Structure 1
Amino acid sequence: MLFGMWGFRSGFLTGAWERTAYRRVAVTCLGVAWTAYLLLGLNTIAQGFDQRWVYFASIVGSVPFRILGTIGYAALLILAIRPGGRLTERMAAVGRAAFTNYLGTSILVTAIFYGWGLGQFARWDRATIYLIPPAVWLVMLVWSKPWLDRFRYGPFEWAWRSLARLKLQPMRKPLPAA
C-alpha cells in the first residue's frame, strides 16, 4: 500500500516521469531482483533442494526482491503503454469489458480443465500450464477492442446494466452520420 501511495504521489504510476527514469528504474530493479533470484536458485540447487533452503529461497529470502521486481515490471509496463498507442487502446478496451473478460476467462479455463469440458485437470506439466495465462491475455486483447468499436458494452456489462436499471440498455453504438 505504501509503495502504491508513493507511486501515485510521485507520478510514477501516472506516467509523469521521463522515459529515461522509467528505463533506469526497470533496469536497476529487475537487475537486482533477477540476480537475487538466480543466486537464491543456485543456492537451493547447491543444497540439493533441501526443504529448509527451498522454504528460505521461496518464502523468506525472495520477499524484498519481489517488491523490487514489481516496481521494475511496473516501469516496463508504463514504458510499453503510451497514451494513444495501440496497446494502450487495447488494454483500455479490456478494462472497459472487465466483467465479461473475467467471466469469459473463468468459462474458458474451466472448459479446458474441468470434467464438463476437456477434462485436462492434472494432465499438464507445470511448464505447459504457464502457457495458459498469456494465451488468455492475448484473447482478451484481440477481442475486446473490435467488440467495443461496434458496441457500447461487453456482453456481461450490458446484461448487468440492463438488470440494474430494470430496462434493456442500448447495445449497439450509433452509426456515424453519412
Structure 2
Amino acid sequence: MRTQRTHLATPDARLGSARIASVDALRGFSLLGILVVNIAFLASGYRMAGLPEPAFDSSLDWGVRWVVTMFLENKFYLLFSFLFGYSFTLQADSAARREQPFVPMFLRRLAGLLLLGLAHAVLLFPGDILTTYAAVGLALLIFRRITPRTAVRLAVALTLLLALGFVLLAVLATAGTDMAGTVTDGSAEAARSDAALGGGFWEIVSEHVRKLSLIIVLRVLFQGPAVLAACLIGLAVGKLGALRDPSAHTATLRGLQWTGFTAGLAGAFCYTLSAWTDAVHKFWGEAVDLVTAPLLAAAYGATFLRLLPYLPRAGRALAVPGRMALSNYLAQSLICALIFTGYGLALVDRVSPAAEVVLALGIFAAQIAYSHWWLRRHRYGPVEWLLRRLTYWRQIYPDDRNGLDRKQ
C-alpha cells in the first residue's frame, strides 16, 4: 500500500504537499474528451446551431455523431468541473499551510480566469467555459465551509431543478411556444456563421461576440448551475481527501460504475435519440441528460481511477498535459481556429465528423509531446505561470524569479 501511494503522488517542495498524479491524469483524460466534443463546434457553424453538417450525411458521418453525442458530449466538461471543485480544496489547504489569506488570492485567480475566458470567447471560441468557472468560483467561496454531505445534497438539488427547467421548456414547446426557431432559421443562422468564420479577423470576432449575446442566457440559467453542481461534488470529495488513495475506496468506485453505466448509458441513449430532432424532443432529452450525464461522468472517472494502477504508462502520458491543462485547453482552440477559420486555412464545414475525431486525437498526441518537452524545462505551463503570478501578485517565491519558473 505504501508503494502504491507513492505512485499516485509526486512531491512538489514549493507546494509543501504531494502533487496527486491521479488527479493530473484524470484531468488530462477529461481534456481529451473535451477536445473530441468541442472540435465539431469549432469546425462548423451548423453544429453551433444544433444541426448536422449538410455536406456530411453518410452512414459513417452519422455513426461518428451518434458515438460522440452518446458517449462524450456533456460528460467530460462535468469531469473537468468536478476537478475544478476538487482543486479548490487543495488551494485552500495550501494557503492554510502557508498561513496566507486564501480569499484575496482566490479572487485574483478568478479575475485572471475571467480575463482569459473573455479573451478566449471573443477571439477563439464562444463556447468558452473559463468565464463560467470564474463565476462559479465565487459560489465555491461562499460554500467553502459546508460539509461534504451538504455539498452533495445541494448539487443534487441544483441538478433536479435544472432538469425541471428543461421539462418546463418541453411543455411550453409542446403547447406551441416557439422556443428555438425552425430548422430553416437554424440553417440560415449556420450559413451566416460559416461565412463570417471564413472571413477576416474582425468578421470572426464580430461573429463570436454575436454568438455570445445569443447564448448568454443559456449560460447563466443552465450551464452555470450544472458546472456548480459538479464543482460541489468535487468540493465534497476534496474535503474527504478521497483521491489521494483511490484504492482505499474501491467499493465506492465500483458502485459508481454500476450505477453510472446503467442509468448513465440509458439516459445518454435517450439524449442521443432526441439530439437531432425537433425542439420538444430536444428539451426532453436535455432534461434526461442533466440527471444521467453526471452519473456516466462519475462512472468514467471511477473506471479510470481503478484502471490507472494497471496502466502506469498511460497514466503518466495523460498526467503531463493534465498538469498544464489550462494552457492546453486554450491551445486546442487556437489550433482549431487556425485550421477551421479565416485566421488560417478556413476549412469551416469542410472536414467530416470522422476526420474531426482523427484530427482531435492527433492534436492531443502533439500536446502530450509538447507538454513533456515544456515541463522538462519549466515547473508550470505558460498560462498556468501567468495565472499563478496574478494569484500571488507580489508574493513571489525565490524560485519563481527565473522566467517561467525555469527548472534548475
Amino acid at match of 2:337: T
Question: Which of the numbers 271, 274, 281 marks the counterpart of 1:53?
Answer: 281
Aligned to 1:5: 235
- Residues 1:35 and 2:266 aligned together: yes
Aligned to 1:106: 333
Question: Which of the numbers 65, 71, 74 marks the counterpart of 2:298?
Answer: 71
Amino acid at match of 1:152: H
Q: State the Cα distance separating 1:78 from its structure 2 match.
A: 1.8
Amino acid at match of 2:312: G
2:333 counterpart SS class: helix
Pairing of 1:121-140 with structure 2 (within 5 A) = 121-140=348-367
Taking the aligned partners of 1:13 and 1:130, their CA distance within structure 2 comes to 30
Q: Which moved more, 1:70-79 or 1:133-142?
A: 133-142
Taking the aligned partners of 1:71 and 1:158, their CA distance within structure 2 comes to 26
Are the equivalent residues in 1 in contact too, given 2:317–2:368 (CA < 8 A)? Answer: yes
- The structure with more helix, counted as a fraction of residues: 2
Higher relative contact order (CA 8 A, sep 6+): 2
Q: State the Cα distance separating 1:94 from its structure 2 match.
A: 1.7
Q: Which moved more, 1:94-103 or 1:64-73?
A: 94-103
Are the equivalent residues in 2 in contact too, given 1:90–1:141 (CA < 8 A)? Answer: yes
Cα RMSD (Å) of the superposition? 3.8
Cα-to-partner distance string for 1:87-133 (whole Å, 9 max, x where unaligned): 33333322443454244323322111122321111223445434444
Residue segments in structure 2 that go unaligned for 5+ positions in a row? 1-230
Are the equivalent residues in 2 in contact too, given 1:26–1:71 (CA < 8 A)? Answer: yes
Alignment CA distance shift 1:12-1:28 (3 Å): farther
Q: State the Cα distance separating 1:33 from its structure 2 match.
A: 1.0
Amino acid at match of 1:51: A
Question: Which of the numbers 275, 289, 299 marks the counterpart of 1:62?
Answer: 289
1:61 counterpart SS class: helix
Are the equivalent residues in 2 in contact too, given 1:112–1:120 (CA < 8 A)? Answer: yes
Are the equivalent residues in 2 in contact too, given 1:158–1:169 (CA < 8 A)? Answer: no
TM-score by length of 2: 0.34
Aligned to 1:156: 382
Residue segments in structure 1 that go unaligned for 5+ positions in a row? none
Are the equivalent residues in 2 in contact too, given 1:89–1:145 (CA < 8 A)? Answer: no
- Residues 1:115 and 2:342 aligned together: yes
Alignment CA distance shift 1:114-1:82 (3 Å): same
Aligned to 2:72: none
Q: State the Cα distance separating 1:144 from its structure 2 match.
A: 1.6
Amino acid at match of 2:261: L
Alignment CA distance shift 1:31-1:171 (3 Å): same
Cα-to-partner distance string for 1:144-175 (whole Å, 9 max, x where unaligned): 224423x124673698589x87965387655x
Taking the aligned partners of 1:41 and 1:99, their CA distance within structure 2 comes to 29
Taking the aligned partners of 2:404 and 2:290, their CA distance within structure 1 comes to 48
Are the equivalent residues in 2 in contact too, given 1:90–1:144 (CA < 8 A)? Answer: no
- Residues 1:85 and 2:312 aligned together: yes
Taking the aligned partners of 2:384 and 2:353, their CA distance within structure 1 comes to 37
Taking the aligned partners of 2:370 and 2:252, their CA distance within structure 1 comes to 33
Amino acid at match of 2:403: Q
Alignment CA distance shift 1:172-1:32 (3 Å): same
**Identity value in percent:** 20
Aligned length: 168
